[in-house]
Homo-oligomer: A and B are copies of this chain.
Amino acid sequence: MRDRSKLSERQRGILRFMETYLETQGFPPTIREIGEATGINSTSVVNYNLNKLVDAGFLERASSKSRGIRLVTTTGKSLPKQVVASNNIVRVPLVGQIVASAPVAVPDDVGYYFDEDDLIDVSVWLLGGADPSEVFALRVKGDSMIDAMIGDGDIVIFRKQNYAENGDMVAVWLDERGETTLKRFFHENDRIRLQPEHPTMKPIYVDPAHCHVQGRVLSVIRHIG
């Protein structure tokens, strides 16, 4: 159940189209629109595959209602009440983990590859206006970021970029230390000051040539309970 790899190529295409259509239109597509988008020439075949997707638990349908198709959440729960289908939600790829001893590995096609199930829904206001296609998320491993008020298991949302403005909170790779860290970024004369978020911690200073910005922090999400 809920394993996309068990689906046919067409069914995966339908799911993909459903997601992007909902993203761009705010309401579900008709079976005809699905057919055109996925190269299916018959409405009955779309209908057939939609029902397959319902059986597989990926969709729900309201029978005899136009556009009566909805995506079932990845949480597995059939359908929670009190749930809102609002359209200020962005689906962000959770591409991996921050490990202090390795640079952040960010695929080039962030935001355009939607086959993974590792997508998290976040409110647009957490993106601060950034283009959702260049946003990605990482899960923090370990307590090395604790001076930035970021702990083990936290999810950090980044905008992918290799530069930074003064005061930006960024993930930087430090050649000298051989690790990635999260700090506030300040360009000072010929060096760069990296200021921890915690007021009692001291800043560190590095050579611009040996520090590589990997992304700017937009938001932090911590789930506890």
Contact = CB atoms under 8 A, between A and B. Distances in A.
A133 interface: yes
Given A85-B86, A87-B79, A225 B128 contact: yes
* Interface bracket on A: 35 or more
Contacts of A132: 80-83
Contact of A73 (B27, B62, B83, B87): B87
Contact of A151 (B87, B111, B149): B149
Interface string A58-71: 00101000111111
Contacts of A82: 23-24, 90, 111, 131-133
A218 interface: yes
A6 interface: no
Given A86-B121, A218-B224, 4 more contacts: A22-B85, A23-B81, A88-B121, A222-B222
Interface of A: 19, 22-28, 30, 60, 62, 66-71, 73-75, 79-91, 111, 120-128, 130-133, 143, 146, 149-151, 159, 168-169, 197-199, 216-225
10 contacts: A22-B86, A23-B83, A70-B87, A73-B86, A84-B90, A85-B85, A128-B225, A143-B199, A218-B225, A220-B222
